[in-house]
């Protein structure tokens, strides 16, 4: 039985395909795969101790990245709320979620899902990232 040599092109295609599938995994899916593999292994006789350590380090790294992402998201939201809160009492102009240009005085701030919005005295809601102009009414005798 003769074996055919694998060309460099075939190897790179195979590697690229497996890399793409790996990158499509979410961190939760990857952790489930690792835990399934680890739970089916004898902890006192692992198949490959260096591979086991590498897997454990991967799990720790993924958990750390997930925690860091959640913490950064929380900090960003708190920063947006604080910034938006400083706009209360100021006149703003911006676009509504329906892309209608409106203006009014900011009377309150609200967190809606993952974004912060300004509620205006005339009933309009303007997402913080859609504010175009901010005016301090006290500068003009307001």
In order of start, what are the domains of the chain with their CATH numbers?
A: 8-78 (no CATH), 88-140 (2.30.30)
pLDDT at 16: 43
- Nearest Cα residue to 131 out of 98, 96, 107: 96
107-to-60, 74, 77, 133 alpha-carbon distances in Å: 45, 24, 19, 16
Give the residue ranges of DSSP H helices in 24-48.
27-39
Ranges of the chain with pLDDT below 50: 1-19
pLDDT at 48: 66
Determine contact, residues 80/128, Cβ cutoff 8 Å.
yes
Half-sphere exposure of residue 106, counting CA atoms within 13 Å on the CB side? 27
Residue 56 dihedral angles phi and psi, to the nearest 5°: -65, -40
No. of helices (H) and no. of strands (E), the chain: 3, 5
């Amino acid at each position: 039985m003769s074996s055919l040599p694998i060309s460099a092109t075939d190897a790179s295609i195979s590697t690229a395909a497996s890399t793409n599938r790996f990158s499509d995994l979410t961190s939760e899916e990857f952790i489930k795969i690792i835990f399934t593999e680890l739970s089916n292994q004898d902890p006192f006789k692992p198949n490959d101790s260096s591979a086991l350590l590498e897997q454990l380090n991967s799990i720790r790294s993924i958990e750390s990245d997930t925690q860091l992402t959640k913490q950064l998201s929380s900090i960003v939201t708190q920063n947006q709320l604080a910034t938006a809160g400083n706009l209360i009492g100021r006149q703003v102009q911006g676009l509504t979620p329906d892309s209608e240009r409106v203006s009014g005085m900011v009377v309150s701030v609200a967190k809606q899902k993952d974004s912060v919005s300004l509620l205006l005295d005339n009933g309009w809601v303007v997402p913080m990232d859609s504010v175009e102009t901010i005016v301090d009414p006290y500068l003009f005798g307001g």
